[in-house]
Structure 1
Amino acid sequence: MHKQATKPMLILTVCLVMILSLISGCSGNQTAAPAASEQPSASPEAVQPAGTSAVPADFKAGTYKAEADGKDGKIQVEVTLDAESVITGIEVVGQNETAGIGVEAINKIKEEILTGQTLNIDAVSGASESSKAILTAVEDAVKQAGGNVEAFKSKAVVKSGEGQTEQLSADVVVVGAGASGVSAAVSAADAGAKVILIEKTATIGGASNLSWAGKFYNSSAALSSGLQVEVEKEIGDWIVNNHWRVNAAAIRQYVTKSGETYDWLTGKGYTTTFLNFGGEQLHMLPAYETRQDLLRAMLKASVEKGGGQVITETTAKKLITGTNGEVTGVVAEKSDGTTLEITGKSIVMATGGYAGNKEMVKEAFGFEGVNGGLGQNIGEGLKMAWDAGAKVPDNFGGQMLHQTLARATDKLKAEYEPFEASYPLMLTYLPTLMNVGPSGARFRDEAATLTAVAAANTSAFNGAYHLVILSQAQVDALRTKGMNGLQAPKLPGMPPEFYAPYKDKFKLDQPWKDADKVFESMVANGDGFKGNTIEELAKHAGMDPAVFAADFKLYEEAAKTGMDTEFGKAKEYLVPMGSGPYYAIVSEVNNLCSVGGLLVNTKFQVLNEGRVPVKGLYAVGVESEGVLFNDTYVGNGVGLGYSFTSGRLGGEDAAAGALAKE
C-alpha cells in the first residue's frame, strides 16, 4: 500500500513512527543532499575543450551558481570552469530529490558531464526530471561564464560498448529489481538456482522505495498483537467485491501465504513494523533511506553468494524463444551500449507495469490523471511477454488510483513554505466542500474524500480532473480558525509523507496564515480559477454556466435544509458556501501503478491464449496482479504485500522449474 486515509489518532501515531524512523517520502528526501554533493573527478582524457571551436572571447573562468526545478524542488549547483572552458567541478549545494532515485541520477549525470565534457546526455531512466534539472543548471552556469553552450550540447557521447555482445547464462533470469524482482531473485537463489537479476535503472527496490506499508495477512506480528483476520470471510468478500472476475485460487494463495512473507523478510534483515490501521493489518516498511541498502544486502547474501549477478542500468529488449515457443533467455542492453544475451531455464518478468506510459494508460483505461509512480515503467516487459505468446488478460487496463492531488502544489512550493503551499491540496480531502466535474455538475457525495481509493476512483470516473469550490467567506474562516472553520470532521487523510514537512502545523485548529494570498497565487499560476460571481467562475474555469449555477443552487439549498436529495450527503458535512468571490481548485487523481497485464496461475507461470503455461516464462508483482482484481485496485496494502509475496513464491517456483530441467 502506498497511502490511505486515517483517523486523527492513527495519523499522530504514524507521524511519531516517521519521526523515530527519520522517514521522508515521494515528495522529497531531505537526507539526500550529502550523497548528491559527492564530487566525481573527471578522467584525464576527459579534460579537453568542449568543442572544436575556440574559447569565446568573453569567456571568464571561475565558479558559477545556478539552479533548476527538479522533481521535488530546486536543484542548486556550483559549476567550475577553467581557462580552457573545461568543466572541472560540479557541486550540488542544495536539492530535495528522492534518495536512491533522484540522487543517483544527479550523481550519474554529473559524472557523465565531467567525463565527456558534454551536455548531450540522456536522462537517467526513472528520474527524468532530476536528470533534466542538473543538465539545465549546468547549462545555465556555462552561459553565465560566456562558454560555448552549443559546443557542449553538440558533443556526442560515445558508448564504449556499442557493437559488442556479451553472453551470460543462469538457471533463473529475473527482469526488474523492484520488491517482487528482488524477492524472486533471492528466493530462487536460496532454492539452489544460479540467478542473474537485471534492472534498467541504477536503483534497487523500485516503487517499494516510495511506498509506505504492505499487508501480510495474519503475520506473526499481527497475531501477537491480537488482531486476526477471518480468512474465509476475507476471501469471500474479496471475490464478491470484484464481481467474481478474479482467480479465486490466487486470492486464497495470497491471503493464506502472505503472513509467511513477513517472517521471511524479517529473517533477511528487511524488518517491517506492524500497525493496526483501523482494523487493517498493515506493516510499515523500514525507513525510506535504508531500504535500498537492505535489499542490496539480501541480494548479496543470496544471489551473489550463490554465484549469480545483479546487473543494473541494463534494459531488457526482447525475450529469446526456442523452436517450440519456450522462453529461453533475454536480450538486454547495458548503459555503455553492450548487448547482453542471457540464457536461462526460467525467466521471471518483474518489470513494474506501464503506468509511466501515458498513451498506453489512456488507451487501456481512459485515465488522464497523474503518474505518481515510477516513470521508467512504460510497459516494455509486458510487450516482450505478449510477443513471446503471453495472453493479454480480459480485464487488462486496471490501475492503482489512490489519492487526489492539487495541481497548484508544485508551483506554490516555490513561493511559500510547505504548509501554506499545501492549502489547496488539503482541501481536496475535506468532505465539507462542493466538488464538481469539468462541466460544473456535482458528481458525488463529497464524503468519498474520506477514503483514498473511493476519492480517486469517483473522480477518475468523472473525467481528467474535478474542481473543489471555495468561497471567500470560507477562505476567511480558514485564515482565522483553520480547518475547524470549514467544520472538517478530521484531518485530511493524506499520505504521511505529504504532511511530514509541516506535521507541527497539521492540526484542525491551526490558522491558515496568508490563505487569501495563496489562493490568489494559485489562480495567477493557472492552477485554479476565480470569479466574483458563480457565473464568472464558471466562465473562467471552462464550466457550463447554466449547469454549474443550477447545481450550486441545489447545493446551497441542501446546506440550508440539511438534506442532500441528490447524493445523500450527511447533514454534518453540508456546510453553506457563504459569500464570494469564489475559487475553483483543480484536483487530479494520483495513479501509483498499473495492475496486471499478464495472466498467471498459482505457480506464477505466464499463460498463453489457451490459458496454458508459456514454457520457461514466469511473472510476479504488479504485472501478475490482475488475477486479484477486476478492473481497479481496491486493496489496502495489497499492492506491496503481493509484490513481496508473489516474488517470494514465484522465485521458488521458477527455481524448481529450472532445476528440474537439469
Structure 2
Amino acid sequence: MKKVLSIVLALAMCLSLAACAQNPKESTEPSDSVKPTEEAGIYTPGTYTATARGHEDGVQVTVTVDANSITDVTLDVSKETESIGGAAADKLKSQIMDAQSAEIDGVSGATETSNAVKMALQDCLNQAMGVSSDEKTPVADGTYSGTAPSFGLTSQMTCEVTFEGGKMTDIQVTEESDSATGEWFASAQELFIPRVLESQSLAVDAITGATTSSNGIRNCVAAAIDAAGGDSSQWYTEIPKKTDTVKLEGYDVIVVGMGGSGVLSYCAAAEQGATVFGIEAAGKIGGDSVCTYGPMAINSQYLKDLYNNGEDYINADDVYNTWMEYVGSDEKADVIHEAVYNSGSALDYYVDNFGFEFEGMGLLGSFVVPEWTKLWCVYSADDDNTSWNILGPNKTFQFTRALETANAMNEKNEYMTELTATSLIFDDDGKVIGVNAQYYDGTTYEIYGKTVILATGGFLGNDDMMNEYLGSTVSTIGDTVNDGTGIQMGISAGGATYMMGTLPMVHISQVPHLIRTDDLTADQKAILTALALTTDQKMITTEGNVWGNENQSGTEDEGITVEIVYAPDYMYYVVYSQEDIDNIRTNGLTEAQANATSQFLSQGGTLPAAGTPVEDIDQILQVGEEYQNVIKADSIADLAAAIGCDESNLTEALGGVDTTYYAVICDSYAYATVGGLDVDVNMNVLREDGTPIENLFAVGQDSEGVCNADGKAYTPWGGQAQSWTFVSGQIAGTQAAAVAAAAE
C-alpha cells in the first residue's frame, strides 16, 4: 500500500542518510563518497534535542546516540491532539529504533505529528553528525509539484512551487477540497503562502483557525522541494519573534473574540456611538458561525414581509413554554424569554443596520416539533449564489461587511486578527480595565477600555476543560480556536459558571479519524463510514454494555437527532464478528448499511447497493485499523482490553461467543460547547453571589449555558445557538456602550 504519510520527507531522509556517511572529526561537509569506519563512527556520542511543528507548535524529540546508532529516543507530543498525535507516539518511537534513522513510515491518521517527529529527529541527527543547519542542498530552477493530505474531505492538496536561483518564487495551490469543507482555507492561502515566500522558510507558524490547511500547504511545499532535488528538512530556518509592547488606550468597549457573537457585539456597540476594539486569535473573523446554516428567528418582520405576507409564522408562546419545560427550571426565565421573543427583532436589527441577508422560511424545519416548519432561516450566499460548502452558504463576507459598516461609524474603531487575548488587565481595586494580547509575530499588546465583552466561543478546543466539565473530549466540525479563554478570563475576574455540564453541540457522527489520504478510495471510505453508522448491528459502549434505544437517556421523548451525545464518552463501537465480515464479503451490505451515510462529513464516495459483494472488505478494515477507526481482536478478552472495558460486561453484551471481532468506532462531532459564564438578562457576567460585574459581559458560546440544562443535549429545536449570537450580541453591545457612556 502506498505510504502517503512519508511523502513529505522520503527523499529528504535518503539524502540525509547519505550525509551521515562521513567522519565528523575529519569534515563538516556531507559527502556521498566518504564512508565511515566502524572505529570512527557516524555520530558524536551524546544527547541531542530539537523541536518541529506538528498540528500544533512544539513537537520535541530527544535522541541519545553512540558512535554508530540511536540508543534511545524520547518524544514529547503533549501539545498534539491526544487521540491522534498522542496515540501515535509509541509507534513512532518503535519505528525510529527499528529504522535507526528518520526514514520511517509514520503513523496513519497522524500525518502532521509524524512529519514533525521526522523533522525534529533529522535535526537531532544532523547535530550529532556536525552537519550545519545553514547549509542547503541546491534545488533546480523550475516548477515542481507536491501533494499531501489537508483539511479537505474528498481529495488531497496539491501545490506547484516555482524555484529560481535557489529560492521559492511562487506557490500555487492547484488542487484542494479544503474550501468545500469550510471557509477557513482562505486565510491559510492568503496569509501563510506569502509568509513562506518572504521568509524562505517552512518554519512559518500555521495560521490560527486554519492549522490543518496551513500544514497541508507546508507539506506540499516540502514535497516539492524534495522533488526539485533539495532537502526539505533544511528549509526550517527559525523565524525570530518580536519583543515589542504596544499600548492602546481610550476604548469604550473591547470585544474578545470576533466570531459571530463578537462581531455582532462589536456592531451593536459601535451603533450606540461607542469606540470599539476587537481581538481575534484566528486569521479570519466569523469563528464557528461560518459553519452554521442560519439562526432561529421567531416572527422576524424582515422574514414576515418577504415570505409570509407580513403575518406571524410561528407561535412564540409555544416555543417559550416548550423551552422552559425542557430546561426544567425558571431560574433563567428572563434570559430565555429574551432568547425566544427577541430572536426575530435581533435579526431585524442587524438586517436594517448592518446589511445582513437571509433566505426564506421553511428551508429548515425544527428537529423535534414538526409543526415548527418556519423556525429558522438560512444565510444568503453571494450574489451569484454559488459560494456554498458542506456547512451551508459562505457567509464570512456578510460579517466582514457588517464590520466595515461599524468601523465607518468612528475612525477609532478597529479590530485585529491573529491577535490572541491572554488575560484581563485589572486596576488596584480589581476592576477590569483592559486586555493583554499577543500578535502572531510576538508583539505584546495592552489594550485599555471601559468595558470588555467575552466572545471566544466556548471550550471545545480545550481538552483539559472538556475532560473536567464533560468527562471526555469529542471530535470537532469546525476550528478549535474556541479554547475556553473567555470563560477562564471571566473566572479570573470573579465570575461564576453556569450549566457547564450541558452536553456538547452534536449533530453528526462519523469514524473518529477521517482518512484524508488515498489509502482508500472514496467508495471504500464510504463503506467504512457505513460500517460505523449502521443501525442494524450490535453497538457497544466504552463501558462494554449494549448501546441502543433502551439506553438513550430520554431521547425518544426529546427527539434528539443524534442520540450518540448521550453515550458514555460520546461514542460507541459497532461490533462485527468474523462471520459478519465474511458475509459482507460474499453477500454484501444489508439495506441499513447500504443507506448509512454521514450528514455533512461524507468523503464523496458511493455505497454499493445492498447485496453487492464487498470483496475488498479486508483491505477496508485493515486501513481502518491503521487509522485507529477499527479495533481487531481475536477474542472477547482481547477486545475488552483494547476498549478498556469490563470483560464480563462485554461477554454478556456479545453473548459469550469467542471469535475474531472487528469494532468499528462511531464518534460524535460537535460544533461547540454550550455551558459557560453565568450572565444576567443584560449579559453581565455574574459573581458566585449573583451580583453583576458591571463592566464585564459574555456572549455566544461563552454564555449559552443560561439557556440549557446540565446533562442534556443543548436545546434541540434548531438554529437557536446561532440565534443566541444575535440576541446576546445585540444586548451586550448595547449595554456595554451604555456602561461606558455612564463612566465618562
TM range (shorter): 0.7 to 0.9
Q: What residue is the counterpart of 1:465 in the other structure?
A: 571
Match of 1:127 among 194, 210, 233: 210
Structure 1 residues 605-624: aligned runs within 5 Å = 605-624=684-703
- Higher alpha-carbon Rg: 2
Q: 1:613 and 1:511, CA in 2 relative to 1: closer, same or farther beyond 3 A?
A: farther
Structure 2 distance, partners of 1:487, 1:137, is 36
Q: CA contact under 8 A between 2:159 and 2:171: conserved in structure 1?
A: yes
Match of 2:424 among 315, 319, 331: 319
Superposed CA offset, 1:249-285 (max 9, x none): 1111111100113323433332223235133412223
Query: 1:262 aligned to 2:347?
Result: yes
Q: What residue is the counterpart of 2:514 in the other structure?
A: 410
Q: CA contact under 8 A between 1:101 and 1:127: conserved in structure 2?
A: yes
Structure 1 residues 74-473: aligned runs within 5 Å = 74-83=156-165, 85-98=166-179, 100-147=183-230, 149-153=232-236, 155-159=237-241, 162-220=243-301, 221=303, 224=308, 228-244=313-329, 246-267=331-352, 268-273=354-359, 274=361, 275-277=363-365, 278-280=370-372, 281-287=375-381, 288=388, 290-307=394-411, 308-393=413-498, 395-407=499-511, 410-411=514-515, 414-445=518-549, 454-459=562-567, 462-463=568-569, 465-470=571-576
Q: CA contact under 8 A between 2:289 and 2:722: conserved in structure 1?
A: yes
User: 1:348 aligns to what SS in structure 2?
Assistant: strand
Q: What residue is the counterpart of 2:650 in the other structure?
A: 548
Normalized per residue, which structure has more helix? Answer: 1
Q: 1:265 and 1:508, CA in 2 relative to 1: closer, same or farther beyond 3 A?
A: farther
User: 1:440 aligns to what SS in structure 2?
Assistant: coil
222-231 or 333-342, which deviates more: 222-231
Q: What residue is the counterpart of 1:528 in the other structure?
A: 630
Structure 2 distance, partners of 1:238, 1:142, is 57
Superposed CA offset, 1:331-370 (max 9, x none): 2222233333322222111111211011221122111321
Taking structure 1 as the reference length, what is the TM-score of the superposition? 0.77
Structure 1 residues 465-614: aligned runs within 5 Å = 465-470=571-576, 485-486=591-592, 494-495=598-599, 497-499=600-602, 501=604, 516=617, 518-519=620-621, 521-523=623-625, 525-530=627-632, 546-553=648-655, 583-614=662-693
User: 2:267 aligns to what SS in structure 1?
Assistant: helix
Q: 1:515 and 1:641, CA in 2 relative to 1: closer, same or farther beyond 3 A?
A: farther
Q: 1:525 and 1:365, CA in 2 relative to 1: closer, same or farther beyond 3 A?
A: closer
Q: CA contact under 8 A between 2:477 and 2:671: conserved in structure 1?
A: yes
Structure 2 distance, partners of 1:487, 1:465, is 18
User: 2:216 aligns to what SS in structure 1?
Assistant: helix
Deviation at 1:506? 8.0
Deviation at 1:425? 2.9
Superposed CA offset, 1:153-185 (max 9, x none): 2x22134x5324242432222111111011111
Q: What residue is the counterpart of 1:648 in the other structure?
A: 730
Amino acid at match of 1:338: T
Superposed CA offset, 1:586-609 (max 9, x none): 111223212232111111111123
Structure 2 distance, partners of 1:283, 1:180, is 17
Structure 1 distance, partners of 2:169, 2:685, is 51
Q: CA contact under 8 A between 1:452 and 1:493: conserved in structure 2?
A: no
Q: CA contact under 8 A between 1:218 and 1:259: conserved in structure 2?
A: yes
Deviation at 1:545? 5.8
Amino acid at match of 2:319: E
Cα RMSD for the two superposed structures = 3.6
Q: What residue is the counterpart of 1:12 in the other structure?
A: none
Structure 1 distance, partners of 2:614, 2:378, is 33
96-105 or 602-611, which deviates more: 96-105
Deviation at 1:404? 4.8
Q: CA contact under 8 A between 2:476 and 2:671: conserved in structure 1?
A: yes
Please list every run of 5 or more consecutive structure 1 residues that lacks an aligned counterpart in the other structure. 1-50, 557-579
Match of 1:70 among 150, 153, 159: 150
Q: What residue is the counterpart of 2:6 in the other structure?
A: none
Structure 1 distance, partners of 2:739, 2:615, is 63
Q: CA contact under 8 A between 2:526 and 2:597: conserved in structure 1?
A: no
Q: 1:121 and 1:186, CA in 2 relative to 1: closer, same or farther beyond 3 A?
A: same
Structure 2 distance, partners of 1:347, 1:230, is 36
Q: 1:515 and 1:400, CA in 2 relative to 1: closer, same or farther beyond 3 A?
A: farther
User: 2:377 aligns to what SS in structure 1?
Assistant: strand
Larger RCO, structure (CA 8 Å, separation 6 or more): 1
Deviation at 1:189? 1.3
How many residue pairs get aligned? The number is 577
237-246 or 69-78, which deviates more: 237-246
Structure 2 distance, partners of 1:405, 1:190, is 41
Identity among equivalent positions (%) equals 26
Structure 1 distance, partners of 2:445, 2:228, is 42
User: 2:399 aligns to what SS in structure 1?
Assistant: helix
Q: 1:524 and 1:356, CA in 2 relative to 1: closer, same or farther beyond 3 A?
A: closer
Amino acid at match of 2:279: I
Taking structure 2 as the reference length, what is the TM-score of the superposition? 0.69
User: 2:497 aligns to what SS in structure 1?
Assistant: coil
Structure 2 distance, partners of 1:175, 1:408, is 31
Structure 2 distance, partners of 1:209, 1:259, is 20
65-74 or 585-594, which deviates more: 65-74
Q: What residue is the counterpart of 2:110 in the other structure?
A: none
Amino acid at match of 1:135: R
